[in-house]
Amino acid sequence: MHLVYLMPFVVTNEVEIIMFQYKVIHNVLSTRATLYRDGISESPLCNLCRTEEQTPHHLIINCIMTNN
């Protein structure tokens, strides 16, 4: 088993943070891009910066609003 999958449970005891890390690692974090693909959202654009498609990579690394 890869140790990266156990990391969320070792790093913190906060349930919300564990679940967020789990969703990011397993690529199941709901974003506007996935909601748009599934017909739930009207636009795939990031609702924070409105410049790019909202993907996990964009939210965590590229979005200017989350990286201030």
Note the pLDDT tens digit of each residue in 19-29. 888 888 888 89
CB 63 within 8 A of CB 48: yes
Q: Are 46 and 58 in contact (CB under 8 A)?
A: yes
What are the pLDDT digits (tens) for 17-68?
Answer: 888 888 888 888 999 999 999 999 999 999 999 999 999 999 989 999 988 7
- Which is nearest to 27 in space by CA: 66, 62, 65, 59? 59
The pLDDT of residue 11: 78
